[in-house]
Amino acid sequence: MTSEPDPVTRSYQQWRECITVRCGISLTPSYIATRLVELRDPSHPKAREFLEKYGQTHFSSVVEWFQTVQKET
């Protein structure tokens, strides 16, 4: 049985703080849209890299969190 790596963030709040505070990334509508296009395309190198590094469970959470913040903006 293969286990997925422990993600850096476990909740929307932790993820948002990590992105905006620790990484200093502004969650602009343009940035969010770009990331969602990349992550929704399974052939995109960034999506494949993310999946390989963090696993399907965390990947799905991050896509959901990007969708959540997109609705908030």
- Average pLDDT, rounded, for the chain: 91
Q: Whole-angstrom Cα distance, residue 11 to residue 14?
A: 5
Which residues 6+ apart lie within 8 Å of 67 measured at CB?
36
The CA radius of gyration of the chain, in Å to the nearest whole number, is 12
Q: Using CA atoms, how far apart are residues 59 and 42, in angstroms rounded to an integer?
A: 11
Residue-wise pLDDT for 47-60, tens only, equals: 999 999 999 999 99
Contact 66, 39 (CB under 8 A): yes
The arithmetic mean of pLDDT across residues 11-16, rounded, is: 95
Reading the block at residue 65, the tokens are 């969190």
pLDDT at 7: 66
